[in-house]
Amino acid sequence: MIAGKPPLQQSQLFSLKGSVLTLSILTLISFTYFSFKSLRPPLPFSPPTPQITLLPSSATATATATATGTNTTTPSQPRIVAEKKEGNVGEEQEDNDDDFFTDIYHSPKLFKMNFEEMEKKFKIYIYPDGDPKTFYQTPRKLTGKYASEGYFFQNIRESRFRTEDPDQAHLFFIPISCHKMRGKGTSYENMTIIVQNYLDGLIAKYPYWNRTLGADHFFVTCHDVGVRATEGVPFLVKNAIRVVCSPSYDVGFIPHKDVALPQVLQPFALPAGGNDVENRTSLGFWAGHRNSKIRVILARVWENDTELDISNNRISRATGHLVYQKRFYRTKFCICPGGSQVNSARITDSIHYGCVPVILSNYYDLPFNDILDWQKFAVILKESDVYQLKQILKSISHEEFVSLHNNLVKVQKHFQWNTPPVKFDAFHMVIYELWLRHHVIKY
């Protein structure tokens, strides 16, 4: 007890002091909290979850079916497609990673991360042997249906991936142009002998093939010429990575090892299509030679149809200037049946002109199938679906078609060859596929 103070006054004094102290502490805590809160950055914006639409299974086959040559989809199983918000499809997307790396990729973040690592580290050694004036080192030409082979030969020499030091190389390029041999009139039998002798020389001169029995080697060839020229060299076909324009399993293509080279008919006759949905009034289009069973059936069933524009012969130039190419601009869906080989330049023509490709081929490993989700910008069917083709295409709603078309424009850059090569173009996508193969090679 304090002297001179009554007990009641002392109790009131302690109560007042306690209240003031408590108020001071609460004020200090509040000031500190709001001060720290004002220093925190705003929370990142979370985009809305895309709407999910169910499409009839007849509108597509699954990606697994494409990879295995079988169709596991039944009429009762729907296909799920994420609809993207409509935008200006012709605008460049590269400046904004969030816009560029969309769900047209199986794993956008993984693709972005691996691509950046590839650009920094990946090295390829080109064997310098062989006379460059014949069929080594240089392609035959950069035009026509074999242009993809030619562009790759030129691009690899212009790129950052080439190394002059084989001890730094991750992969080794065998630079022999089978198509150039064909252009010089070499028979397939003699091509096989030339390839065999050339390869024997590399194995005898360098130690690199024997380290992996050729698993870290690759060659590039387009269309059926390279398949025919190399099938007589089984240890090359079995061990090395084949980058080919005819990725059909009935010619021994191995999806996890080999790479599908897109067959691109460059230069394109007309500018790229896109942002032109309102002009696409025709349902479907195909014109070409009947050089395969599926093309014969397609022409027989649908050539007289009033809604599908199907011709069983190529469009004659006498009909008008670039009539064939202009049809792509007016059509929603461009039919891409397999020809003498499973692949054709019609697929990349469709992509370039903004016409949604309808893949009508069995046993076909689509280009960049490891990277791109083809079901976001194409309709994938098995050959037996040809009889229901019109019903399948008409069952796709306008909103679903717009989504496919917009996504198609986003992937156009991946199916374009340039010289020198440009980031994310066809050359870089092929190199990325090789980068993926490099990571699974066992030394």
For the chain, list the domains and their CATH numbers: 106-263+421-435 (no CATH), 275-413 (3.40.50.2000)
Q: Is the pLDDT at 429 greater than 60, yes or no?
A: yes
In the numeric block, which tokens belong to residue 286?
């195909």
pLDDT of residue 48: 34
Structure-token match 């040559």, residue found: 69
Retrieve residue 231's tokens.
């099938």
pLDDT at 415: 95
Q: Measuring CA to CA, which residue among 333, 339, 352, 330 is closest to residue 312?
A: 339
Strands 356-360 and 171-173: unpaired
Report the relative pairing of strands 171-173 and 124-126 from DSSP bridges.
parallel
Q: For residue 9, what are the contacts with CB-CB under 8 A and spacing of at least 6?
A: none
**188 sits in which H/E element:** helix 188-205
With a CB cutoff of 8 Å and minimum separation 6, the contacts of 381 are: 60, 61, 358, 359, 360, 389, 392
Confidence at 186, pLDDT banded by 50, 70, 90: confident
Q: Which of 8-17, 189-198, 261-270, 375-384 has the highest mean pLDDT?
A: 375-384
Q: Find which of 82-96, 177-191, 327-341 is predicted with most confidence, using mean pLDDT.
A: 327-341
The pLDDT of residue 352 is above 70: yes
Query: Helix, strand, or coil here: 372?
Result: strand
* CA-based nearest residue to 392, from 53, 71, 54, 59: 59
Annotate 53-89 with three-state secondary structure: EEECHHHCCCHHHHHHCCCCCCCCCCEEEECCCCCCC
**Stretch (H or E) spanning 155:** helix 147-158
User: Using CB atoms within 10 A of its CB, is residue 219 exposed (0-12), middle (13-18) or buried (19+)?
Assistant: buried
The conformation of residue 106, written as its DSSP 8-state character, comes to S
Please give the mean pLDDT across all residues of the chain.
78
pLDDT band at 223 (very low <50, low <70, confident <90, very high): low
- The Cα–Cα gap between 201 and 155 comes to 25
Position 120 scores a pLDDT of 95
245 confidence band (pLDDT: 50, 70, 90): confident
Q: Is the pLDDT of residue 265 over 90?
A: no
pLDDT reported for residue 109: 92
pLDDT at 280 > cutoff 90: yes
| Residue (of 372, 439, 360) closest to 410 by Cα position | 372
Return the top range by mean pLDDT from 7-21, 40-54, 153-167: 153-167
Higher pLDDT among residues 107 and 102, named by residue: 107
